[in-house]
Amino acid sequence: MFKKTLLYILFFYALGNYYIFYSWYLGDEQIIIEEALKLSLKSCIPMFIFIILTHYFYHTKNIDHAQVISFPPIILLFSINLGFFISTYNMYSLQIYNLPIFLDYFRSLTTGLILVILAIVLLYISVRQFNSYNEDPNPISPSSRIIMKSIYQYSRNPMYLGMIIFQIGLGLMLSMLHISFFTVLTYFLFRYFVIAPEEKYLEQKFKQDYIEYKRKVRRWF
C-alpha cells in the first residue's frame, strides 16, 4: 500500500506541475527564466523518481518471461521526460544551442493531436487483442500463446509502434521537438532491450510456430 501511495503522489505531483508549465509555455503569460527553470525541474525530477521506483518495486526477475530491461511504458515515459529535461534545461539554463528555425514548421497542434489519437487507437486495439485471449501484454508476464490475429497479422509489435507514434505526436502537439527527437532513444531501447529479449523468449517457448510467424509478419509494419 505504501509503495502505490508513494508512486501516486509522485506521478500526480509531477503531472500537475507539467500542466502548470505547459499552461504557461503554450500560453501568452510572461514568466521569468529562473521561474520557468524551477517549474520544469519540479515537473521532471519527481517523474524521474517515479520511473526509478516503479522499476525497482515491480520489475521482477522470474525465469518464465522475456528478460526485458524494464516495462515498455516506463521506457517511453523515461524518454519523454528526458527529452523535456534536456530541452528546458538548455533553454532556461545552459543555452548552449538553438534548434534550426526551419524545424518550427514541425510544431503543430493539429498534426501532433492526429498522431496521438492514432497511437491511442493502435494501443487500444493491440491491448484489446491480448485481453480477448486472457493474455497479459506486460512482457515480464509468462506467455501461453502467440497472438497472431487482428492487427498482429500486420505487425508483430503494434503496441511499441503505437508508443513511438505517441511520443512523436506529443512533441509536435506540445511544441517541444526534443520530445519527438528522443523517439530515437525509445526506438533503440525497444528494439534491442525489449523486442530482442521477447523474440528470444518466444522462440525458445514456441519454437517453429514463432519462427514461422516472424517469417510472415514484419517487426514493425
**153-164 confidence digits (pLDDT tens):** 999 999 999 999
Looking at residue 221, its pLDDT comes to 87
Query: At 140, is the pLDDT very low, low, confident or very high (cuts 50, 70, 90)?
Result: confident
Q: What are φ and ψ of residue 96, in 5° steps?
A: -80, -35
Q: Write down the pLDDT at residue 96.
A: 86
pLDDT digits (tens, 9 = 90+) for 163-186: 999 999 999 999 999 999 999 999
pTM: 0.93
Per residue in 80-115, pLDDT (tens digit) is 999 999 999 999 988 888 888 888 888 889 999 999
Report domain extents, the chain: 100-216
pLDDT in tens, 34-89: 888 999 999 999 999 999 999 999 887 777 788 899 999 999 999 999 999 999 99
Nearby residues of 98 by Cβ (< 8 Å), 6 or more positions away: none
How distant is the alpha carbon of residue 211 from its chain centre?
A: 27
Is pLDDT at 32 greater than 90 in this prediction? no
CB atoms within 10 A of CB 123: 20
Higher pLDDT, 188 or 141: 188
CA–CA separation, 133 and 8 (whole Å): 30
| Distance in angstroms (rounded) separating the CA atoms of residues 200 and 204 | 6
Confidence (pLDDT) at 27:
87
Q: Using DSSP, how many helices (H) and how many strands (E) does the chain show?
A: 9, 0
Average pLDDT, the chain: 93
Q: Tell me, what's the pLDDT at 73?
A: 96
